Structure 1
Amino acid sequence: MTQARQHQHHSSEHGKLSLNQGKKWNSDAPLRQSMNTLHAEFQKKIASKQHQALSKTHFKQLGEITHTEIANIVANCKLNPEADAVLHQIIAEMTQGADVVTGKAKGQPAKATHKVINALNDYGRLFEHPNWIILK
Structure 2
Amino acid sequence: MSREHRLTRTILALFLLTIAVPGWTAVDHGEHQANQKNEAGVSLNNGKPWPTDAPLRKGMEVIQREMRDALPRIHAGTYTAKNYTTLAKKMRAHLNHITRNCKLKPEADLQLHRILMEILHGSEVLEAKQGQSSGAAIIVRALDLYGRHFDHPGWKPLPH
**Structure 2: tracts of 5 or more residues without a match:** 1-8, 33-40
Identity over aligned residues, as a percent? 31
Q: For 2:157 and 2:123, how far apart are their aligned partners in 1?
A: 19
Q: Deviations over 1:65-109 (max 9, x none)?
A: 110011011111311111111111101111111112134xx6521
Moved more, 40-49 or 25-34: 40-49
Structure 1 residue aligned with 2:50:
25
Aligned to 1:93: 118
- Equivalence map 1:1-136=2 (5 Å): 2-12=10-20, 16-46=41-71, 50=75, 52-103=77-128, 108-136=131-159
Structure with greater contact order relative to length (CA < 8 Å, sep ≥ 6): 1
CA offsets 1:93-127 (integer angstroms, 9 cap, x no match): 11111112134xx6521011100110011101110
Q: How many residue pairs end up in the alignment?
A: 134
Distance 1:26 1:51 in 2: 36
| Structure 1: stretches of 5+ with no match in the other structure | none
Give the Cα–Cα distance (whole angstroms) in 2 for the partners of residues 52 and 91 of structure 1. 26
CA RMSD of aligned residues (A): 2.2
- Deviation >4 Å, runs of 4+: none
Larger Rg, first or second structure (1 or 2): 2
- Aligned residue identity for 1:7: F
TM-score for the superposition, normalised by structure 1: 0.86
